[in-house]
Amino acid sequence: MSRIAVLGLGAMGSRMAANWLKAGHEVTVWNRTAAAGMPLAAAGARLAATPREAAQGAQFVIAMLRDDAASRDVWLDPAQGALAALGGDAIAIESSTLTPQWGRTLGQQVSQSGSALLEAPVSGSRPQAEAGQLVYLIGGEAEVLERVRPLLQVTGGAIHHVGSLGQGALAKLATNALLGIQVAALAEIIALLEAQGADVPRTLAAMSGTSAWAPVAGYLSSAMLSSNHAPQFPISLIEKDFAYTLQLATSTQQAPALTAALEVFSKARAEGLGEQNMTAVIELARAAGH
């Protein structure tokens, strides 16, 4: 079994760490708020006080963090950053949703230290993380991926190698952008149907039999109809991902649909919905119709 360090114990990192523990790996965890690690400690994980302490002696160091700034701090902080503790044969795995530019920059830093970085963001939410059925979008060298593959197979139902460092982040941002556009469009469509007095469940059931219906639309529409917006993918996070994606565009004219979707999620956050699930944007559309 492997020695693994997990940095960041949010909704995803905590569930991934739990699955590695169940598989018999030796797991050390760190989180900025130490209390988040207590359930994992009760299950057999070792708690570390800093990212550097967590990475000490680990064969694989996995980060699941909020954004570029958090990733930079956790890996590169002069006093507590994990990078300084990596051994030459250790592999750094960055599973956060980040910009491609930062992924490439971090890769250079890790390479200069004598270790290797694999970019491994995931598609999926809490249920998939819990079931070990995440979809990995890998950026990095094929040889490094093969060393890491047995570890990722514990937490992932599919592993796709999409290219070099930066390409994993790009694939993840593209995936989330497509999802977000569907969320914003479906919210507006359901609100319009409601305002027109339609039998919305029956109409959606009919739509689900057409080629226009995406696999995720069933979950999204169910949450919207029931107004169950318990966080799976919070609005504040998808807003961040849209902002990262639009950094890649030369202008808003190149990506008008992405720009419009970002405005929807930004407005939702400004109205106090930031920590609710992305489906809560339907409440904006409903309010606009009254």
Q: Which residues are the active-site residues? A: 172
| C-alpha span between 109 and 203 (Å, rounded) | 53
- What type of residue sits at position 68? D
Sequence-separated contacts (24+) of 279-282 with Cβ below 8 Å: 279/183, 279/187, 279/220, 279/223, 279/224, 279/228, 279/229, 280/229, 280/235, 281/183, 281/184, 281/187, 281/235, 282/186, 282/187, 282/190, 282/191, 282/224, 282/227
- What type of residue sits at position 188? E
